[in-house]
Structure formats: structure tokens, C-alpha cells
Chains A and B, each alone.
Chain A
Amino acid sequence: MEILVCVRRVPDTSENEIELNGAGNDIERDELVYSINEPDNYAVEEAIQIVARVGGKVTVVTVGGEDDEEILRREMAMGANHGVLLSDDAFAGSDGRGIPVILKAFVQKGNYDLILTGVQAEDGGAQVGGMLAAMLDYPFASLVNSIEVLDGRKLKISREIEGGNREISEIDLPCVLSIQTGINEPRYVGMKGIRQVASVPIPTYGASDLGADLNTVGTAAAKVKRVDYFVPVLGKGAEMLNGSREENVEKVLELVAAKGGLK
């Protein structure tokens, strides 16, 4: 099975405190720790496991720039066979619609049976997979948390629905699936693994290589635009306890006793 996994490099929210920049038009990106978008990493692991069972190849692709090569190499160190970078000045400023347009052009140059994305990026809208599928006229399923390959170019999949229940379906290949976290246990990637793929060439395709319609990508085509960022005020805010740890411990115990009762 030929599997394409669409991945993205994002600021890692488990490693960073996200703050606004001085102008308020972006987050402060200096000194941010970036990593592969977490659900995308699960998608790559799933692709590698499927290929281990039924044969085939895994290609990881991202739309971005030179800095994004690092996540392609990381996923190749995990076991993806190929990494491809889609990069062009004309792609800059694409909205959530422009990205799947670019990916569609790349998909049509190949012969993929299965296309995976992560369910959502940290700063995204859970939309790339669903849009890409509609543009390709492929079937689609979101929030996928298990995949079984059946005979006759079909998969049996499960989706995560409310209350931890699972919706089981059959889906025809080729198709697009967006992968939910927890579907597998992504393998650890060590420095040694990354060094082994450090010199593997990563082909880069631009708009002309892909035959992408430039009227449908980039800033000019974007219908959805971010104006500015701000820090939300959701509730009245917690009363912060700023005492010593010992004082805080005592206060918490008092509160637990007062509000819910200790055993």
C-alpha cells in the first residue's frame, strides 16, 4: 500500500508558554520550541505499522520552508521511506483552503492508496484532510482511532465519537483519513536515527513543478485571514495562591475539606 502522510511543524504547546508579540499581530516566535504536530506523528506511526503488515511505502510531505525539513527527517528516522517538501514563495500566506489545494496537486502526481493527516494542528481548524478528500473526490473519515486493512481495496476503520464510543465503518480506497491521537504508541526517535537520515536528499517541489493554480493559493486567494491575537478572558480567573508550598498545601486541604469533605 502506498501511503502519503501530510504533516506540519508547529510550536509545541507542551514545551512552550505561548505569548503575544509586542505588536499583538502574532505569537512571540523567538525561542519557541517547534516539533511535529502531535496527531501527525501518530498518523506517521500508523502508516509505518500498516506497511509493516501489508507491504508498501510511506511518504511524508509538508508545505513550508527549509526549517520544516527537520520534521520530515524526524519522521524518516521513525521509518517513513520518503520525505517531500512543497515550497514556493507563492504558497506563503495560504489559508486552510490553500494548503489542501497544494497537497492535491502533489497527490495527483503520485499513486497513493491512502492519505493520512493528523486530526488538527495546534493553530489549525481540523480541515485539511476533509477538504483534500472533497477536492480529490475521495471518501473521508475524521477522528480515526483504528485502521484494519480488508481485502478488496477497503479498510475497516473506527472513529472517536461522543463519550468515548467508537463508530465503525468500512471505507473504500483510495481515501483520506484524519488520525486522532492515541491510535497507537509512536516509537521513540533517538539522535542516532536522525543522524542516519541526515544526508538523505529531500526533494522540493514548487508551484510550477506541481502545476498548482496560483490563483487558488497564497495570500491573494486566502478568504480567511487572521487579524490579530489576544489573550482570552474565559472566566473570572482563579484566586492564585502565592504562599510557600507548605502554606499552599494547607490551604488546599482546608478547601477540599470545606467544599467536598475529606474521607
Chain B
Amino acid sequence: MPAPRARRPAVPVEVLDSLRLRRALTRIAHEIVERNGGSQGLALVGIHTCGVPLARRIASEIGRIEGETPPPVGAIDITLYRDDAGRLGATARMEPTNIPFDIQERKVVLVDDVLYTGRTIRSALDALVDFGRPAAVQLAVLVDRGHRELPIRADYVGKNVPTSRTQKVRVDLTELGGSDAVYLEEVSDGSK
């Protein structure tokens, strides 16, 4: 048995329910269209695992808003680009990287669920440029929880959630077998 703690109990707090999550994605889609003057030359790339279904949803929303075919969606796995690969250890649990379009001279919107230290995004930028030279890269995240360790900022944010480092943001999505919601929870070992 772990020793009793004086801290708050680890009850997850819901910060986005399914309706507000959908609205946040719709707003992000509108902002992307507004900032880029339409959906011409646009592409979305989701970061495994949660970023991929989020990118698909935003893309189909952009298609709906513009009344055109949605911009193409790709997926990248950044495991092999991490700066802490040696600390986390080798793994075979990699998802396929699949960018089924030429990113050369396209405006690419990277999509991830939670922006935290910024290290994932740095890795994703490295991975992305191995596929070509995009005209521009923008970043869309569902939740920005702060605590950046690198000079990286999101262009589109679903919700800013102030957190402490002992907390964890959990994103559930229907595509990944949950029901749409974002929770803030205490991590018992305080590691993340």
C-alpha cells in the first residue's frame, strides 16, 4: 500500500466535454481558413496517436466550411526523432508514418492533442522536413497546458488549461475507443 498523501485525491476533472470539444475544433477550423485565406494549398499532419483523428476532424470541418474537398491529412510518428529516445528506451510500438501527398510548397498544419514542453513538436518539425520543404508550418493543439521548455507556440489553441507539472491531461476520443472528453488528473508518482 502506498503511504497516505496530503495532496488532493486523484479525481479527474473534466475540462472539455464532447460538445465543447467539438466547438473548439470547429473554431480552430474557422481560424485556419481565415488565417490562410481559404483551404488552397493546405494540408494537415496529425501526430500519433491523438493528433491523427483530430487532424481528420479539423480537415473535414474545413471542407464543410469551404464547401470543397477537405485538405489532405497525413500522420507522423515521432518516436525515432525524440531527443530523449535513449532515456525512454527502444520500442517496437511505432505507428506508421504516412504522408500521402507532396508537402513541398504546401502550408502544413501540424495537429496534436496537448502542447506541453514543446519537445514533441520539435521532433515533429524534424520529421516533417525529412519529407520536403513546406511553404509554412503552423501548429494546432486541442489543449495548451503551459510549461514550455523550448521556444515553441501554437497558432491555434482549443483551450488553455493552467496546470501544474504533477498533473496530467488526458484526451479521450471516440476514434480511439473512448468518448470525447478532456480530463485533468493528478499523477500519483508525480513524473509527468
A and B are interacting partners: no
